[in-house]
Amino acid sequence: MSGAATSGAAGGRPGTVEARHDAFVTTSGRGLNHDLPPMRLYHKAKRFGTWDPRSIDLSQDKEDWKLLNDAQKDALLRLVALFAAGEESVTLDLLPLIMVIAREGRLEEEMFLTTFLWEEAKHTEFMRRFLDEVAGVAGADLHHYHTPSYRKIFYEELPRAMHRLLDDPSPAAQAEASVTYNLIVEGVLAETGYYAFYRTLQRQGVMPGFIQGIRNFQRDESRHLAYGVFLLQRLVAADDAIWHVIDRRLNHLLPYALGVTHEIYAAYGDQHPFEVDQKEFIDYAIKQFSLRARRIEQARGKSLAEVYRLAADQVEEATRDPDGPGAAAGDPAGGPPAATGSPAGPAATTGSGPGRAEARAQGGPAAGGGGGSGA
């Protein structure tokens, strides 16, 4: 209803788009649908996503930094440098998707995406604050930590997929963009990175302010992931051929995502500064990937109404009360963070393409590694 646009010349400029609205949802008989999964995520974001990166106390973190040895400082600086640039990248690259959703008149989805972008900006701010105030590297160039697999994803694949939407807003292009952003960057790299921070820092009882920030990141990202899974489910329900687009994209990108973790470990040879097992991280990354791919595949042959019912569960999983049970789901003492929007069950796909990507990643040069990066 809203967001309609027609093509044509405007002001004598050939090829421009003359945008116009025919009506508005908020003054129509339909009104806002507060039961839609993205609208429910929007309300959750208002309740749980209003933390301030500058209000987190990093005084103890500064003291803890001084106690780390040089190798540990380098490993932590590496992870934060990957995260900082990753958060900046997703902040820069999200706008084309918001524009496509707005032009399709999906007001409730756009309203949620406004919180999504704001939260990514806060993540960028917090990571830079840690670099400046705790690591004390203001003025340093940290691009040397960006390894080939990392550069492939964040310098090439992510911006290309997202900015393609400016010229090609087709469902296939939207699916490729969401797979890159939500499933690979957020669902594999970022979540494995959170797990790495918990395992290396919280286990040693250091960096409490940073860990508080990471918990806030993870709560925010759980909503982002829930939306990404919903978007892909909606696209698959509308056209089953989109599943094959998703399948190909996952198979293309997963080896690079796992390559990021491999390259982190390769920088330190046989002995990681924090003495964490790289197999633990690679298994965790593949589990997160497999469960979400399985959930999206469940949308095949479903109606839109059935997709909304599927999405209802993932919204609740993504938005538990951060002060209630499961608030510290990422604490190693309580197990790894739950896979947002994923059904309970074995960490395996249902015989589809993503399973082939896992097999290649486990046996190929991109296998191994610990820690991830992203948003």
Q: Which fold has domain 32-363?
A: Ribonucleotide Reductase, subunit A (1.10.620)
Encode pLDDT of 318-333 as tens digits.
656 544 433 433 443 3
pLDDT at 6 over 80: no
| Nearest one of 103, 99, 125, 239 to 177, comparing CA atoms | 99
Encode pLDDT of 153-207 as tens digits.
999 999 999 999 999 999 999 999 999 999 999 999 999 999 999 988 988 899 9
pLDDT at 107 over 90: yes
How far apart are alpha carbons 128 and 370 in whole angstroms? Answer: 22
Domain borders along the chain are 32-363
Averaged over 20-44, what is the pLDDT? 94
pLDDT of residue 16: 57
Higher pLDDT, 353 or 135: 135
pLDDT of residue 319: 58
pLDDT of residue 312: 80
- E strand residue ranges, 8-128: 17-19
pLDDT of residue 122: 98
Record the tokens describing residue 66, joined without a space: 């001084």
Averaged over 271-278, what is the pLDDT? 80
Half-sphere exposure (Cβ direction) of 247: Cα atoms closer than 13 Å: 16
Burial-class residue 313 by CB neighbours within 10 Å (0-12, 13-18, 19+).
Answer: middle
Which of 34-43, 126-135, 203-212, 334-343 has the lowest average pLDDT?
Answer: 334-343
pLDDT of residue 372: 64
- E strand residue ranges, the chain: 5-7, 17-19
pLDDT of residue 285: 84
Give me the phi and psi of 104, to 5 degrees please. -80, -5
